[in-house]
Structure 1
Amino acid sequence: MSATANWYPNPENPTQWRYWNGFAWTQHRAPRVPPLVPAAIPAPAVAPVTVVTPADSQHVADRSHDQPEASTSVPVTAAPKVPLFGARALAKESVAEIAKLRDDMNRLGMLDIIELEQEKKRLTAAVEEQRVTLDQEAVELGKRLGELRKQVLVTEETAVLQEAGIYEYRHPLSDSIAYRVELAKLQDKIKTMARKNGGAIQTAQDWTVNGSQVQGRKMLNDFSKLMLRAYNAEADNLVRGLKPYKLQSAEERLDKVATTIAKLGTTMSIGISLPYHQLRLWELALTADFQEKLAEEKDREREERARLREERKVQQEIERECERLEKERQHYVNALRGLTDEQARKRLEDGLRKVEKSIDDVDYRAANIRAGYVYVISNVGAFGDRMIKVGMTRRLEPMERVRELGDASVPFKFDVHALFFSADAVGIETEMHKRLADRRVNRVNLRREFFHATPGEARSHLSQLAGELLTFEEQPEAIEYHQSMNASLA
């Protein structure tokens, strides 16, 4: 017999047909007609009828809103007429058709319920195992990503520090003279290798032109000279224009030049030799170190000259004060010689004692180089309200030093938050700098005594180091700055 499309024997109940939608069994079922048995009298033909259960009808109605589905009607056909002769052949055909249907079921992979359930469990276990594996890989990749991010941060921080002037030496030497000597030795090696057959460039050995090895060698020599000249020109330009904080980019550029020459000379095996390339890279590194060391020495010399100028000013100021006090003392001595009035004598003697005490103080200041005035100043108009300068001066008139700092190099005058004398002004200044070291503005030149801090923070540190201060102005006046702001708004 022939079943309607998509209807097959029910694996759960062999006496039923069941509908297969191409992906799974549905709930549609119908009675199955038993195999035909030959009979002497043919059965009357019965018109096909559609058997649909109420549940099936509701299911079809629900699905019709989503997508069209193949007809779920099951035609139950009556047994075909069995001829008087040939019943055996008809039975054989029916058996063959049943076998064909079973083969189709096997071919379509319709397993029984137990096998399907086992397959489901197997797939579920495989998915879970894969999920656990992926979770472990995700954890490992997360750790690796964290390590790489740390490396990136370190690289970025190094680049930022180098751009800011904090340079890390590749080949640290004692001074610029030592670098100059080392550079001279290195450049001699470079010149030696750059000579003919010195090993600066590599070429093919067997090369012919029109069958001539002589012409081939000449072509190789000409192209080798051209390539080496191009490489050396680029290397020399990089050395001449090198800045210490751009060393890495210069090295990368020289690497690209060597790679380009190797690609262009592939046919004749022409390329810059690795030893020669490493010498030129070393030259770049030493040049950067030399320039940085030279700049450091110049900064130190400049700061030393500034320190000596300040010392000369202090010494001149002390000498002038000593001369003034000595004249004043001599004046009192001369006045006392012929004086007979006791009251006047007592008054002059008091004045003389004060002058002599002042002379002793000046002598003490001249002898004790650690004594001086510690100051905390700021400049809101120039640097904002979160930057201060902490320093000390040995001047007898410390405000002169503050006024010098607010000269034409800054747009506004400095405001004084604290200014007091200390016998150990150098020690207090040094300790203040240590406490504010992580907020230092210039981390290269430590004589630039500016810090990212507020006057209130400075007061807290000073009270611990020098005791409670008699006067401290926490809010800057910034008179010129505020007047300028008001004028700009008017």
Structure 2
Amino acid sequence: MAAEAEQLRVELERLRADMARLGVLSAVELEQYRDQLTRDIADRTAAGHAQQSDLERRLGQLHQQVVVTEETVLLQEAAVYQYRHPLSDAVAYQARLARVQAQIKEMVKKDGGAVLATSEWQVNGSLAEGRAMVRDFSKLMLRAYNAEADTLVRGLKPYKLASAVDRLSKVAGTIAKLGKTMHIRISEDYHRLRVHELELTADYQQRVAEEKEREREEKARLREERRVQQEIERERARLDKERQHYANALATLQAKGDVDGAAQMQERLAQIDVAMEDVDYRAANVRAGYVYVISNLGAFGEKMVKVGMTRRLEPLDRVRELSDASVPFNFDVHALHFSEDAVSIEAKMHARLADRRVNLVNQRREFFYVTPQEAKEHLVELTGNLLHYEEVAEALEYRQSLKQAQE
């Protein structure tokens, strides 16, 4: 009994302590207190969810900005560049840059306005000594700013323009903080001028790159034209030689009185004359040529073809050249069509397949996401007939390579 009494006493003391902690609340008050705690917990949980949702929303916005920034850099690096001050050519940019750089030189001269500072600074109570100190510090700050600007200009790439401008702005901000006590800072006009220099430099570099690309394209076109001309000249020389050979044979047969033999020579000479007329026509008509559809199964897969044209007398020579242009396997010819206006036929094919073009930036890359069958259907609709068509690519080297790899 004594043990049970002691246990009851301890329990009573615990209950008294709890009641004291709760302020000796009644049962109703305890119920209300419990409900209040429940509501508080629910409110805090809801607030926590709202705060979490807000944080997630802000994080999503920041992530989107980062993605956009990364995409912009990648696009600029790939030559999709937005000009800040579009001019006609690189020479115009050089002239504008020269004027800007002349303005920069004027502003960095004494009292040119490149750097600003207080004129009331004193050293040992002397304004003159104070101004001398401010002037020296100002020169040092301006030199640091210009060194950074010159480094950015020298190493600038068009797609890095935004980061270069941001870096130069941060340098200007740092100088303003370091020179706060003397109010030393780079002037807004001078900073804008140097940013303008960066923009013009980026535009100039991009314009030069584009002009070089156009120059390469023109050189490639001239090389192709030269090859065509050489091929025509060789063919004309071959036909002239062959014609002279048959003309001599004809004269000999006529002298012998061989009527049948002479008739055969006359027929052959007529064929050569037709061939020479065709060569002369091809030489005179720069739009005549062959439109071709080729693929490279091993390099590009089953659903990609190249649609182009060539003025070569032997169009397969052009295909063989393309096969040697840094691709692992030879191209296969699927379709071939001769036209007196091959240039227009090629342009119409490209227009029909524009939404399937592989390279949307460089129009000289004549590859399209279509099958040979699809390309053939378009070409037949435009021309009505084909000299050659093969639906299935032979891809001999590719298939042999696969077989050897599996063995």
| TM-score computed with the length of structure 2 as normaliser | 0.80
- Looking at structure 2, the residues matched to 482 and 404 of structure 1 have their Cα atoms a distance apart, in angstroms, of 21
- The answer for the alignment partner of 1:95 in structure 2 is none
Shift of 1:215: 2.1
- Looking at structure 2, the residues matched to 482 and 290 of structure 1 have their Cα atoms a distance apart, in angstroms, of 48
Which of the pair is proportionally richer in helix? 2
What secondary structure sits across from 1:375 in the alignment?
strand
- The answer for the alignment partner of 2:339 in structure 1 is 422
- The answer for the alignment partner of 1:189 in structure 2 is 103
- The answer for the alignment partner of 1:20 in structure 2 is 28
Report the structure number with the largest CA radius of gyration: 1
Query: Where does the alignment leave 5 or more consecutive residues of structure 1 unmatched?
Result: 8-18, 25-66, 68-133
- Matched to 2:139, the amino acid is K
Is 2:248 aligned against 1:334?
yes
Is 2:125 aligned against 1:211?
yes
Alignment counterpart, residue 264 of structure 2, candidates 342, 347, 351: 347
Q: Is the 8 A contact 2:337 2:385 kept in 1?
A: no
Fraction of identical pairs, as percent: 63
- Looking at structure 2, the residues matched to 160 and 437 of structure 1 have their Cα atoms a distance apart, in angstroms, of 23
- Looking at structure 2, the residues matched to 439 and 426 of structure 1 have their Cα atoms a distance apart, in angstroms, of 20
- Looking at structure 1, the residues matched to 378 and 70 of structure 2 have their Cα atoms a distance apart, in angstroms, of 34
Query: Where does the alignment leave 5 or more consecutive residues of structure 2 unmatched?
Result: 1-23, 35-49
Q: 1:185 to 1:197 in 2, by over 3 A?
A: same
- The answer for the alignment partner of 1:286 in structure 2 is 200
- Looking at structure 2, the residues matched to 288 and 441 of structure 1 have their Cα atoms a distance apart, in angstroms, of 28
The more displaced of 404-413 and 194-203 is 404-413
Q: Is the 8 A contact 2:115 2:138 kept in 1?
A: yes
- Matched to 1:198, the amino acid is G
- The answer for the alignment partner of 2:191 in structure 1 is 277
- The answer for the alignment partner of 2:181 in structure 1 is 267
Is 2:88 aligned against 1:174?
yes
Q: 1:303 to 1:6 in 2, by over 3 A?
A: closer
- The answer for the alignment partner of 2:159 in structure 1 is 245
Q: 1:380 to 1:331 in 2, by over 3 A?
A: same
Shift of 1:248: 1.2
Alignment counterpart, residue 228 of structure 2, candidates 290, 305, 314: 314
Shift of 1:409: 2.2
What secondary structure sits across from 1:420 in the alignment?
strand
- The answer for the alignment partner of 2:136 in structure 1 is 222
Shift of 1:6: 7.3
The more displaced of 427-436 and 182-191 is 427-436
- Looking at structure 1, the residues matched to 31 and 294 of structure 2 have their Cα atoms a distance apart, in angstroms, of 85
Q: Is the 8 A contact 2:336 2:387 kept in 1?
A: no
- The answer for the alignment partner of 1:462 in structure 2 is 379
Taking the TM superposition and a 5 Å limit, the aligned residue runs for 1:446-485 are 446-469=363-386, 471-485=388-402
- Looking at structure 2, the residues matched to 470 and 401 of structure 1 have their Cα atoms a distance apart, in angstroms, of 16
- Looking at structure 1, the residues matched to 94 and 158 of structure 2 have their Cα atoms a distance apart, in angstroms, of 16
What secondary structure sits across from 1:410 in the alignment?
coil
Shift of 1:284: 0.6
TM-superposition CA deviations, 1:313-368 (whole Å, max 9, x none): 11111111112222222333333334333332332222222111111111111111
- Matched to 1:407, the amino acid is D
Shift of 1:154: 6.8
- Looking at structure 1, the residues matched to 218 and 351 of structure 2 have their Cα atoms a distance apart, in angstroms, of 21
Alignment counterpart, residue 308 of structure 2, candidates 369, 372, 391: 391
- The answer for the alignment partner of 1:130 in structure 2 is none
Alignment counterpart, residue 434 of structure 1, candidates 339, 351, 356: 351
- The answer for the alignment partner of 2:406 in structure 1 is 489
- Looking at structure 1, the residues matched to 110 and 83 of structure 2 have their Cα atoms a distance apart, in angstroms, of 34
Shift of 1:20: 3.0
Q: 1:152 to 1:458 in 2, by over 3 A?
A: farther
What secondary structure sits across from 2:388 in the alignment?
coil
Taking the TM superposition and a 5 Å limit, the aligned residue runs for 1:338-377 are 338-339=253-254, 340-377=257-294
- The answer for the alignment partner of 1:323 in structure 2 is 237
What secondary structure sits across from 1:390 in the alignment?
strand
- Looking at structure 1, the residues matched to 180 and 402 of structure 2 have their Cα atoms a distance apart, in angstroms, of 68
- Looking at structure 1, the residues matched to 25 and 196 of structure 2 have their Cα atoms a distance apart, in angstroms, of 80
